[in-house]
């Protein structure tokens, strides 16, 4: 059995992922000694917060057709399921706790590993949205998911440039 989602459901997930991303970047910024990377992560946290606002605004502006439910879900369990799925796949709660760097690494090596982890998480978010895009029919706002993907691609560019400059 397969489900179709509407873009409103995906935007709600996207907003939740952005909240998790902002939290991740703030926590990483507070624990990294390199000032330039710390500032980059604070900036990325701010970008995630802005994207959260963008996705909430996009959801507010959707047509009734784009909000049309695809399944009967009076208790809102589908959205809870989608949130749990997003939590497990992108910027999940255990990301920071599970991110332990060996003490013997130099500060530069630690910085590189943290940047690579952030880059991988951003890539995971794009893969997640590409998968979700396939589950949203055209009439329910499929093309709007491209804007979410484009926002995340901007983070990859910033992180890649910083990693390359190390």
pLDDT > 80? residue 127: yes
Structure confidence by residue, pLDDT tens digits, 54-79: 888 888 887 877 776 665 555 666 66
Which of the listed CATH numbers 3.50.50.60, 1.20.1260.10, 2.60.40.10, 1.50.10.10 matches domain 7-165? Answer: 1.20.1260.10
Q: What is the pLDDT of residue 77?
A: 65
Mean pLDDT across the stretch 135-153? Answer: 80
Q: How many CB atoms lie within 10 A of CB 109?
A: 13
Task: Report pLDDT for 76.
Answer: 63
Contact 84, 76 (CB under 8 A): no
Q: What is the pLDDT of residue 78?
A: 60
CB burial readout 117-126, b (16+ within 10 A) else e: bbbebbbbbb
Domain borders along the chain are 7-165
**For position 113, what pLDDT does the model report?**
84
The set of residues, in sequence order, having a beta carbon less than 8 Å from that of 44 and lying 6+ positions away, is 21, 25, 118, 155, 158, 159
* CB neighbourhood size of 77 (10 A): 10
Mean pLDDT of 43-57: 90
Average pLDDT over residues 85-100: 56
**Which is nearest to 130 in space by CA: 105, 103, 107, 149?**
149
Distances (CA, A) of 7 to 25, 28, 81, 114: 26, 31, 16, 32
| Mean per-residue pLDDT of the chain | 79
**What is the band of 100 on the pLDDT scale with cuts at 50, 70, 90?**
low
State how far the Cα of 54 lies from the Cα of 51, in Å rounded to an integer: 5
What pLDDT score does 97 carry?
A: 47
């Amino acid at each position: 059995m397969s489900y179709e989602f509407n873009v409103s459901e995906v935007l709600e997930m996207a907003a939740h992922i952005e909240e998790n991303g902002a939290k991740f970047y703030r926590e990483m910024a507070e624990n990294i000694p390199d000032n330039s990377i710390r500032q980059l992560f604070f900036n990325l946290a701010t970008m995630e917060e802005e994207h959260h606002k963008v996705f909430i605004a996009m959801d507010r502006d959707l047509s009734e057709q784009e909000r049309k439910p695809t399944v009967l879900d009076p208790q809102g369990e589908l959205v809870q399921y989608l949130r749990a799925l997003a939590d497990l796949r992108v910027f999940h709660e255990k990301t920071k706790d599970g991110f332990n760097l060996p003490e013997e690494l130099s500060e530069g090596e630690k910085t590189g590993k943290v940047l690579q982890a952030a880059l991988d998480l951003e890539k995971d978010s794009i893969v997640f949205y590409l998968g979700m895009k396939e589950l949203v029919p055209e009439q329910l706002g499929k093309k709007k998911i491209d804007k979410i993907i484009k926002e995340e691609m901007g983070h990859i560019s910033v992180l890649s440039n910083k990693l390359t400059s190390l």
